[in-house]
Structure 1
Amino acid sequence: MIDQIRPTDLPQWMAANAAHGPAVVLDVREPHELQMASIKADGFELVCIPMGVIPPRLNELDPDRPVACLCHHGGRSQQVAHFLASRGFAHVANIAGGINAWSAEVDPSVPRY
């Protein structure tokens, strides 16, 4: 089962998984979406790989590290989280509500689109 975490819960999730290494937030949105709105890495590594190219770029991610997936509203990131889990990633979460919720709950300076 994939952990569903709200953006405000990310620090607690990272702390709970800290024994597995520094957390990665994997933003799976498209490049044009990243230009509209992006988050700042704060206590985690931010990696941006569009959903459609995750399979050929999977080797860029460490399956032992905690990975929290992010998209616009949480649908694509949920799919990617399941894909990662099926490929042996043991510590995976979906950031429910995506960057839209991030703007509402964590950083209102992040544009909503």
Structure 2
Amino acid sequence: MIAQITPTDLPQWLQGQTDPVVLDVREPAEWQAASVQADGFTLVQLSMNEIPGRLAELDPQRPIACLCHHGARSQRVAQFLLQNGFENVVNIAGGIDAWSLQRDPGVPRY
């Protein structure tokens, strides 16, 4: 089962993590419409469809919080990562839409 965290809970999750990643799995046009600023984590943008072919670019030892628009795609990616040897993976519930509402209203909603 994939742990769910809210954007509000992300800073607490980041504490104690070594070199955490927020993996934004939306499409490039979505990244251009709205994006988060890396703050205590590395932001990696790989669309969901690219993940299987580029899995080797991700470090299974690093903690990863998956992000999409509302949380469904990132949930699927988080499950895929767990099935492929990644152990410290969570889903950001509500995605970037919740990020805008809960954490940073400067992030545009779309």
Q: What is the RMSD of the two structures over their aligned residues, measured on CA atoms? A: 0.7
Where structure 1 has 5 or more consecutive residues not aligned to the other structure, the ranges are: none
Q: Give the superposition deviation at 1:14.
A: 1.6
Aligned equivalents of 2:99, 2:4: Cα separation in 1: 14
What is the SS of the residue equivalent to 2:54? helix
2:5 paired with 1:5: yes
Structure-2 separation of matches of 1:37 and 1:98: 11
Runs of 4+ in 1 over 3 A off after TM superposition: none
With normalisation by structure 2, the TM-score equals 0.98
Give the structure-1-normalised TM-score: 0.95
Report the equivalent of 1:55: 52
- The 2-side partners of 1:100 and 1:78 are apart by 15
- Structure number with higher helix proportion: 1
Paired residues, number: 110
Match of 2:108 in 1: 111
Give the share of equivalent positions with the same residue, in percent.
65
